[in-house]
């Protein structure tokens, strides 16, 4: 072992195959063979960003493992099942708090952050789907092929966008990001006004000599 972080951190298992979650020197659970997925899963389990500190855990022999009382494993699993339930409860409350913006037909200028994007071939040809969130974690979805979406290149990109509310529905398409139904604003006629210059302050460049805080 190279380092011992006295809190949650990600390292590798004894076979150097799985990235694993540790609490100090104590093994918590396997995460993934992919580091990015392991980091994301660890955050969902602990509710916080988890640092990576790569060291190889010593493999236990059957004799060493048998020395541990069975109650030890039961308590560990119960404890982390409880932590997982807290994470799930928090996530469910976040989904319930998402709301509609205005009414169908209303137009807005708002800072949106890209959450997910993918494309597919449908009845209208090749179509992109972009999912967004605002600073209140309210959710938005866009379907289309407008060149405006080229301003969003990766998850986390933020832009000041003008758009119209097309529909307001309950999103039942659940995935790892949202495991509970929630309200979503289907938007159309999008126009990207500016990219966000400062991802923390929400400041956008609206002209060469002017700034506006849209938060």
Protein fold of 107-213: OB fold (Dihydrolipoamide Acetyltransferase, E2P) (2.40.50)
Q: Assign 77 a pLDDT band (cuts: 50, 70, 90).
A: low
Q: Assign 197 a pLDDT band (cuts: 50, 70, 90).
A: low
- Is a pLDDT exceeding 90 seen at residue 190? yes
Q: Are 100 and 144 in contact (CB under 8 A)?
A: no
What are the boundaries of each domain within the chain?
A: 8-96, 107-213
Q: Are 14 and 30 in contact (CB under 8 A)?
A: no
Look-up of token digits 């799930």 = 88
Q: Are 213 and 200 in contact (CB under 8 A)?
A: no
For residues 4 and 66, give the distance between their C-alpha atoms in angstroms, rounded to a whole number: 25
What does pTM read for this prediction? 0.55
- Is a pLDDT exceeding 70 seen at residue 5? no
Give the closest residue to 114 by CA, choosing from 131, 100, 97.
131
Three-state DSSP string of 88-154: HHHHHHHHHHCCCCCCCCCEEEEEEEEEEEEEEEECCEEEEEEEEECCCCCEEEEEECCHHHHHCCC
Averaged pLDDT score across all residues of the chain: 78
Q: What are phi and psi of 194, to 5 degrees?
A: -160, 150
Percent of the chain with pLDDT over 90: 31
Residue pLDDT, tens place only, 51-72: 887 766 555 544 444 455 555 5
Is 160 or 55 the better-scoring residue by pLDDT?
A: 160
Is 179 or 110 the better-scoring residue by pLDDT?
A: 110
Residue 189, phi-psi category: left (phi > 0), alpha (psi -120 to 50), beta (remainder) = left
Instruction: Enumerate residues 6+ apart whose C-beta is below 8 A from 121.
Output: 127
Helices (H) and strands (E) in the chain, counts: 3, 11
Give the closest residue to 206 by CA, choosing from 163, 164, 160.
160
Residue pLDDT, tens place only, 113-146: 999 998 888 777 889 999 999 999 999 999 998 9
């Amino acid at each position: 072992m190279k380092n011992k972080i006295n809190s949650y951190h990600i390292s590798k298992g004894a076979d150097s195959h799985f990235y694993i979650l540790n609490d100090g020197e104590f093994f918590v659970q396997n995460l993934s063979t992919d580091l990015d997925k392991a980091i994301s899963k660890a955050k969902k389990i602990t509710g916080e960003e988890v640092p990576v500190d790569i060291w190889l855990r010593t493999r236990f022999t059957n004799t060493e493992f048998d020395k541990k009382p069975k109650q030890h494993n039961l308590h560990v699993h119960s404890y982390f099942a409880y932590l997982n339930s807290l994470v799930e409860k928090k996530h469910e409350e976040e989904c319930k708090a998402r709301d509609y913006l205005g009414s169908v037909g209303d137009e807005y200028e708002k800072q949106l952050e890209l959450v997910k994007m993918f494309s597919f071939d449908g009845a209208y040809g090749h179509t992109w789907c972009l999912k967004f969130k605002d600073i209140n974690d309210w959710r938005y979805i866009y379907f289309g092929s407008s060149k405006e979406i080229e301003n969003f290149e990766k998850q986390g990109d933020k832009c000041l966008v003008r758009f119209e509310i097309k529909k307001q529905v309950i999103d039942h398409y659940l995935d790892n990001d949202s495991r509970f139904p929630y309200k979503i604003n289907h938007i159309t006629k999008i126009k990207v006004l500016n990219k966000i210059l400062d991802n923390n302050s929400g400041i956008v460049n609206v002209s060469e000599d002017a700034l506006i805080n849209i938060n």
